[in-house]
Amino acid sequence: MGEHRGGHSSSLLVLILMVGLIGGGLLSSFMFLREINKLENDISNLQNQVSRLWGSQNITYQNITIYQNTTILSETYEKVKDSVVLIRGVTNNGTVQGSGFAYSIMGSMVVVTNNHVVHGTSSLSVTFSDGDGYAATVRGTDPYSDIAVVSVPSAPSTEFKPLEIVSSSTLKVGNTVIAIGNPYGLVGSMTTGVISAVGRTITEDQYTGGYAIANIIQTSAPINPGNSGGPLLNFDGKVIGITTAIVAESQGLGFAVPSNTILREVFALFNNGTYDDHSYLGVKGADMSYETAQELHSNVTYGWEIVEVVSKGPSDKAGVQPNDIIVGINGTRIRNGDEMTSYLEEYTVPSETVILNLVRTNQTLEMPLILGKRPPPPI
């Protein structure tokens, strides 16, 4: 009987030890899992903090960048806004409205604008940024470049805040530009964009009789009716062009007369009322293309094909013939009519002798030609 009771005691002791071991293991495991969970939470919190710090850093960087750009634009606007004016005119068909900017010609204060803004006006006024308006008179115009110079004799000199006009020779596609004007009468509106192209040509048949306005700047800066005549500026607030035209129903397709054209003409317009040094070839033509080359059995797919030679004009006197293809002038490659017209406008004057590089029946010719002067524009 004693032995049996001893066996039960041993079994109970073993059971107690096993329960203790299992309970201790479970408790240890529970404590271990708690530590793991705590570590995982700590890691997660650290990751969230890092993420927030990274996001804050990016937001701060972006805010700084935007702030700096906005500051540049705001400072430029403040510097030039008082130089931009509102121009109103009365014509036989009603009223016209446009923009312009103050400029100093050898100490004489004038307003520079577009020819088409003042064309045909019987009365004209200029209103400055402070709201003061004065009667104005047209001093000089050139329809072939769409430039006009306006005098405001009754305005005190303190109204004029002349802008500086700088060379457009160094402009490149992608340069940021600023346009300031009065679209739809909304005085002092600023838009920004980039130079989309240079060396374009546009035609205003009503004023130029079909002749191209050459060497035009194309820009993505939004331009609307009323902007015409306002300045196109670089980030330093200096004039690189005059906004002049848009393509109807287009988006981001505006044009401006380059500052080099303004600088070349403005003194003559102020003193003589006109500028008539536009070179003239006396031909009509069209751009070459692969398809045109196939039709003409030509081995060149670029250049400008002569379609018509004006009788007794410069090209006629030089011996140019229909179907000749102008591929260069003075050794400068000419790919199309835009480049030809822009080259003539920028680098030549009437009575100058140039060398036309022609292709005639697949033979290359060098032909001296004395440039003429464009006939007067239509009234």
107: left (phi over 0), alpha (psi -120 to 50) or beta: left
* Fold held by 279-373: Pdz3 Domain (2.30.42)
Domain ranges, ordered by start, for the chain: 84-159, 176-266, 279-373
pTM score > 0.85 for this model? no
Superfamily of domain 176-266: Trypsin-like serine proteases (2.40.10.10)
Active-site annotation holds for 228: yes
- Per-residue pLDDT of the chain (379 residues), as tens digits, is 444 444 455 555 545 555 455 555 555 555 655 665 566 556 545 544 443 343 333 333 333 333 345 558 888 999 999 999 999 999 998 999 999 999 999 999 999 999 999 999 999 999 999 999 999 999 999 999 999 999 999 999 999 999 999 999 999 999 999 999 988 888 889 999 999 999 999 887 788 888 889 999 999 998 888 899 999 999 899 999 999 977 666 667 899 999 999 999 999 999 999 999 999 999 999 999 999 999 999 999 999 999 999 999 999 999 999 999 999 999 999 999 999 999 999 999 999 999 999 999 999 999 999 999 999 888 7
Count of CB atoms within 10 A of residue 257's CB? 29
Instruction: Give the phi and the psi of residue 285 in degrees, each rounded to 5.
Output: -165, -165
CA quadruple 315, 318, 321, 327: dihedral sign:
negative
- Helix, strand or coil for residue 25? helix
- Helix, strand or coil for residue 348? coil
- Of 176, 144, 152, 171, which is closest to residue 103 (Cα–Cα)? 152
**Rounded distance between C-alpha atoms, residue 260 and residue 290, angstroms:** 34
- Of 281, 304, 263, which is closest to residue 352 (Cα–Cα)? 281
**Rounded distance between C-alpha atoms, residue 158 and residue 156, angstroms:** 5
Catalytic residue among 83, 151, 220, 228: 228
Active-site annotation holds for 116: yes
Structure tokens, 73? 């634009």
Instruction: Give the phi and the psi of residue 237 in degrees, each rounded to 5.
Output: 80, 25
**Rounded distance between C-alpha atoms, residue 237 and residue 182, angstroms:** 17
| Domains 84-159 and 176-266 are alike in CATH topology | yes
Superfamily of domain 84-159: Trypsin-like serine proteases (2.40.10.10)
Burial of 310: CB neighbours in 10 Å, binned 0-12, 13-18, 19+: middle
Q: Which residues contact 354 (CB under 8 A, 6 or more apart)?
A: 329, 330, 348, 368, 369, 371
**Rounded distance between C-alpha atoms, residue 238 and residue 163, angstroms:** 7
- Helix, strand or coil for residue 69? helix
Catalytic residue among 146, 196, 298, 338: 146
- Of 324, 255, 251, which is closest to residue 284 (Cα–Cα)? 324
